[in-house]
Each structure stands twice: as structure tokens, then as C-alpha cells.
Structure 1
Amino acid sequence: MATTSKTILLFCILISLFLISSAQSCSNYTFSGTKIFKSCKDLPYLQAHLHWNYIASTRKVDIAYRATPTSPGWIAWAINPTGTGMVGSEALVAFLNPNGSMTAYTTQINSYNPSMQPRALSFEVSNIRAEYSTNEMIIFAIVGPLKNGTTVNHVWQDGNSVSDNIPQMHSTSGPNIQSMEKLDFLSR
């Protein structure tokens, strides 16, 4: 009887782990409302996911960037139009306000200690907004037209704190310095 109980317990744990890991996947995520994205990617660091629809006729990308920050701090997703890495990237940033609402805006990352003040980007960003639900933040926006084709160098981040409505420095080790890659918006 004890062996049967242990087997059932082990089976339940394995099923739970499968359900938890599959729930984190971008491919089975359902957005509130009627929003549907044709393409998505589970990003390899910071519990983040990128969803998108590439609109070939306008060279724009409708995106949703989802992340679970380590605390209700802030998240950011960026394109670096001139190189790789953080410096030179142009970001969409969001954070949770004390009253429960979200703030979302654009900023330029021009150093390793950027001001994180709202700034215009070299490419157009429209319809930017953010949501917070079940410890997850989501930034929605339409980005483009893209100047350098459909392949971009992108960067994503999260940080622990916001002070006076300005996101503060993120960790400078581990996943925070690894969260960058090349992405082709024509891929699925």
C-alpha cells in the first residue's frame, strides 16, 4: 500500500510540474479580450515571452511582451537598431504603480546607467499600454515601420524597484546580462 501511495504521489508531482511548465509556454497562452498573436517565442531568460503579429504591408509589428518580474518592479523590452546588447537599445518600459495601475512608455538606453526617463525612439511606437495580472506584467504596442528589415537585435530586462516613477538599476549579473538575442519577425 505504501508503494502505491508513493507512486501516485510521484505521478501527481510529475503531472503538476508538466502543467506548470506548459502554462509558462507562449504557445498556449490566452490573452484577455480578443487579442490573438500568430507568432511567439519563450525567451530563454527572466521568465519572459514575446508574442507578435508582423504586418508586412506596413512593416510594423504588433507585440505583447510578457514577463514575471522578481518583485512588482518593472519590465522592459527593447530593439537595438545599431548593434547588439543593452547600450544603444530603444525600449518599451512598464511598471506597477502603488494604486495598482500600470505605466508604460518608451526610453532610450544610452549607457549602462540610463536615466530611464520617457524619450522618443528612432522608430515609431503606437498604442503602448501595459497590464498586470497574477504577478505578470504585459506590455502591448505596435512597433515600426522597421527600418532594417524583419530581423532585429532585441533585449529584455526586469528590475526590482521603481523610485519616483523611474525604474531603478537591474541586476548586473546572471540572466540580466544574458537576456539578448537576434529575432526574425517572420519566424514563428
Structure 2
Amino acid sequence: MAGPKAILLTLCIILCSLRMAASQAGTCANHTFSSDRAFDSCTDLPVLGAHLHWTYDPATSSLHVAYRATQSPSGWIAWGINPTGTGMVGSQAIVALQNSDGTMKAYTTPIDSYSPAMGEKELSVKVSNVTAEYEGGEMAIFAVVGPLGNGTASGVNQVWQAGDSVVGGVPQAHATSGDNVKSMGTINFVSK
């Protein structure tokens, strides 16, 4: 019969293992896309239940990216890079939302003010192969971004966002407090 110390040690090991498994369950590294897309790197973004996956191609200086975030079908998500600053204004964004017929729509829009129109427009950065999907309570945006010039892939200002409503196919304003104003940072796409 095992002594109290052995039982306590066994319980501690089991609890620690369960805690580690639970903490890793929500990480980007464990995610599988339904479309069988795979990416070399990923990061769990600190707010808005968001994750960024990418593969950087140094030969073309292009970035194959997937941005996904927890969202209801009536909301919208956006991810972008800001080549001129660190905040929202100046960002070159990709938006995803669900159409009234249930299909997903993804498009590009530059963020030129704190009250942008969010209409479909070309960006100052080349973006192609823009698509979106909705599965398991998450929206995801897929795109190829680049070429990224002058070694900028090693220090890119990124922003991400989410809003709760879409009216007439247009994303409505997101919250202006809490996590919605913390959704920005710098990322290095070159190092894994």
C-alpha cells in the first residue's frame, strides 16, 4: 500500500499534467483548419480570442497568413498591418463577415481614420487570395500578403479587431474600450 506522500505526489503529477494539457488546448499550435491548410508558425494574440498563423516565403518576401478569432455569425473580424505607424489609422486591413445567405465574405480596406467607412478598397500593400470561413464559433481570414519590402517582415506592426454587428453588409463600429483598444503589436514573421 502506498504511503500518504506517494499518493500526494501522484495526485500532484496528475493535476499538473491536466493543467498543462488544458493550457495548451487553446493554443494556435493545436489548431487544424478544415481546409487542410498548414502554416509554419503561429501565435496566440493576447486579446479578442485571436490567433495568427503564417508561413513566410523569403524567396518572394510574401506572407501566407491565416487570422482567426472567436466570433458570432452576426459579427465581423479584421486583421491588418500598419506600414506607417503602430495603431489603427494607417492600417491596411482584411475584413471578414458572414453574408445574410450564410456565405463568408472577405475583402481589403484601408483604415484611414478612427471612423473608417470599412468599404472594399485596394491597399497600399499587395494582398491576394483573400478568402474567409466560419467554423466552430470562429471566423478565419486567409490571404497572401506581399511582397513585403526592405526587410520589413522582421518587424511588422499588426492590428486586429472584432465587432458585434454588420448592417447591410458593412461592419459597424467596434467597442472603443477594453480589449478592442489593446489589439495591436509588433510581430516578426521571419523568425519562428
Same fold? TM cut 0.5 = yes
> TM-score when scaled to structure 2?
0.86
Question: Whole-Å Cα distance in 1 between the matches of residues 87 and 166 of structure 2?
Answer: 23
* Residue 57, structure 1, aligned to residue 59, structure 2: yes
- Cα deviation, residue 187, structure 1: 2.5
What is the aligned counterpart of 1:106 among 105, 108, 118?
Answer: 108
Alpha-carbon distance in structure 2 between the residues aligned to 1:173 and 1:71: 22
Q: What is the TM-score with the length of structure 1 in the denominator?
A: 0.88
Q: Which ranges in structure 1 are unaligned for 5 or more consecutive residues?
A: 1-7
Partner of 1:27: helix, strand, or coil?
helix
What RMSD over aligned residues (CA atoms) do the two structures have, in Å?
A: 1.9
Task: Show the counterpart of 1:68.
Answer: 70
Q: Which residue of 1 aligns with 2:170?
A: 166
* Aligned-pair CA distance for 1:37: 0.5
- 2:148 aligns with 146
**Count of paired positions:** 177
Q: Does 1:42 align with 2:44?
A: yes
The 2-side partners of 1:72 and 1:163 are apart by: 9
1:29 aligned to which of 11, 15, 31: 31
Query: What corresponds to 1:187 in structure 2?
Result: 191
Per-residue Cα deviation, 1:124-147 (whole angstroms, up to 9, x for no partner)? 111000000011000000000012
119-128 or 21-30, which deviates more: 21-30
Give structure 2 stretches of 5+ with no counterpart: 1-10
Distance 1:18 1:163 in 2: 42
1:19 positional shift? 5.4
Q: Which has the larger radius of gyration?
A: 2
1:71 touches 1:160 (CA, 8 Å); kept in 2? no
Q: Percentage identity across aligned positions?
A: 53
